[in-house]
Chain A
Amino acid sequence: AQTVTQSQPEMSVQEAETVTLSCTYDTSESDYYLFWYKQPPSRQMILVIRQEAYKQQNATENRFSVNFQKAAKSFSLKISDSQLGDAAMYFCAYRPPSGGSQGNLIFGKGTKLSVKP
């Protein structure tokens, strides 16, 4: 069974600095999808960034980028120029290839990010 591990329950970063959140996963599939979701205190789940496993290029969305290491099964999230609004829980999620139940997301337990002014 696929699993997702976030080894850092809590992280802290100074405003304007850079922070990296770790995520590893276990799968025997060669094609799959990876996501980072943000959950602020409002509780709303917000997609931050996605990565398709067959793409070698790391995904980037403004200040958010990933370091996708397929062989190592690692998918870390880098937040540059951290802002107070980045404070939230961050969840890494894995989705198997397409078809039927393969749409289901498997989540890590989350990393709580604090941003210090």
Chain B
Amino acid sequence: GAVVSQHPSRVICKSGTSVKIECRSLDFQATTMFWYRQFPKKSLMLMATSNEGSKATYEQGVEKDKFLINHASLTLSTLTVTSAHPEDSSFYICSADPGLAFYEQYFGPGTRLTVT
């Protein structure tokens, strides 16, 4: 089956620093990748849709200057949390869409970010 990796799985950083999270589709090409965040006991919240070679589409209320998304290739998308603050602490999950011929998104294992 399709595999999506995410790195790092856990990161602790100090307030004010930036953190980069990588999402890779290992055995397929993903023209579209999605970034979600999830607070404890809450559902997934879509942050942005990332298309290879173009700018990401951000959901309402998500600061694009704070959450930088780059989708430079068909197998890699990155999310950079800039000038992180404690309220950015969350579980960040990416997913990859192989295309309309497939109906499901494939999720990465998630990244637990803690900002101290």
User: Do the two shown chains form a genuine complex with each other?
Assistant: no
Residues of A near any B CB (own CB < 8 A) = none
